[in-house]
Structure 1
Amino acid sequence: MTRVFDFLFSFFGILLLWPVGLILCIIGLFDSGSPIFKQERVGKYKRSFILYKFRTMHIHTASVATHLANQNMVTRFGSFLRKSKLDELPQLLNVLRGDMSLVGPRPCLFNQSELIEERSKRGVYNHLPGITGLAQINEIDMSTPVKLAEVDAEMLHNLTLGKYFKYILATVTGKGSGDRIQA
């Protein structure tokens, strides 16, 4: 049932927010020279997919988990995008394509072996990754892989349509801050 809502929300989100996306792309072009960031991530059944985001870090930054990055890697405009969560907007394309859901565990990198192992033990990879979820609104990030995997599994086990909307609403209204970056 959530796939229907994922499709509708992402379709209409893209339709309504494309002017904002265009403006962010233009500003991002001047900020970093390459406004869209693409990265291989771990998806459902541990299959790889390409995640899209607005670029927030300098173009030649190493591909590391956000909690391992430091503030010097983030551009000035990127800092704004992260705080406002607008860097996530292109992921609506991932949701529309069926690579992701609006609600689910945040997709990690293939080099995050401890998190992958913990999530595998708990069946998290039997579900689509998402833009937001219980861990994100409670500020649990990938720096604590065991705790994150436990919360992801709990969320997926107890996910109802009501909670699906609750997590989306909490994210849109500003709850949670995403992955922390080292100062």
Structure 2
Amino acid sequence: MYRINLVVKRIFDLVSSMILALILLPLWIALALWIKLDSKGPVLFKQGRRTKDGRIFNLYKFRSMVVNAEKMEAGLFNYENDPRVTRVGKILRNTSLDELPQLFNIIKGDMSVVGPRPCVSYELGDFDTLNKRYKKRFEVKAGLTGLAQVKGRNDISWDEKVGYDNQYVDNFRRI
């Protein structure tokens, strides 16, 4: 039954993300132009993230910060009124429109529509030495959205996110 669930989920991922990508194409073009007019640099930002079994892939987002922001000030983490976030980037982040290019990650098979959000490749340290609780979330593909986002997004601790991610893994395996 689990294998059938995986096939059905992959079909859903492909069909829904391709339809959304086509429908949203005019919006993507407008956002790309807006980003280019607002700040120098590429339209898309790519970053190494972890997905199923700890595999690293390039996650795509609309760029919402200045180029090389990770190498400045707070590094990986951003904070309220972070000067590295562009004017357009602030709007993209508040509306989650910066996440739209991840539909291509779903089409490629790196991600799923629903699953634990993919963490930055080096965020948790060495994957091989992660404890069982933190590693469990990597038993399924990373997702565009997941239970942790529904339950609190950035308002909950990393430990709470892992708990919700693991709850999703358990529930998916039971279906």
TM-score category by the smaller chain? Answer: 0.7 to 0.9
The correspondence of residues 97-116 of structure 1 with structure 2, limited to 5 A, is: 97-113=108-124
Q: How far apart are the structure 2 equivalents of 1:126 and 1:2? A: 15
Aligned to 2:78: 69
Q: How far apart are the structure 1 equivalents of 2:86 and 2:132? A: 31
3-state SS of 2:107 partner: helix
Letter in 2 for 1:69: N
Comparing 28-37 and 72-81, the one that deviates more: 28-37
Please say if residues 139 and 169 of structure 2, whose CA atoms lie closer than 8 Å, have aligned partners that are also in contact. Answer: no
Root-mean-square deviation (CA, aligned residues, Å) is 2.4
Point out the structure with max Rg over C-alpha.
Answer: 2
Aligned to 2:66: 58
Aligned to 1:46: 54
Q: How far apart are the structure 2 equivalents of 1:9 and 1:77? A: 27
**Percent of aligned pairs with the same amino acid:** 35
Cα 1:25–1:81 shift into 2, 3 Å: same
Please say if residues 56 and 75 of structure 1, whose CA atoms lie closer than 8 Å, have aligned partners that are also in contact. Answer: yes
The offset of 1:119, in angstroms, is 6.7
Q: How far apart are the structure 1 equivalents of 2:26 and 2:131? A: 40
User: Residue 134 of structure 1 is aligned with which of 147, 150, 160?
Assistant: 147
Query: Which stretches in structure 2 are left out of the alignment for 5+ residues?
Result: 1-7
Q: How far apart are the structure 2 equivalents of 1:27 and 1:106? A: 26
The correspondence of residues 82-121 of structure 1 with structure 2, limited to 5 A, is: 82-113=93-124, 117=130, 121=134
The offset of 1:118, in angstroms, is 5.2
The offset of 1:86, in angstroms, is 0.7
For these two proteins, the number of residue pairs brought into alignment is 159
Letter in 2 for 1:29: K
TM-score, normalised on structure 1? 0.78
**Are 2:160 and 1:157 equivalent residues in the alignment?**
no
Letter in 1 for 2:140: H
The offset of 1:39, in angstroms, is 0.6
3-state SS of 2:152 partner: coil
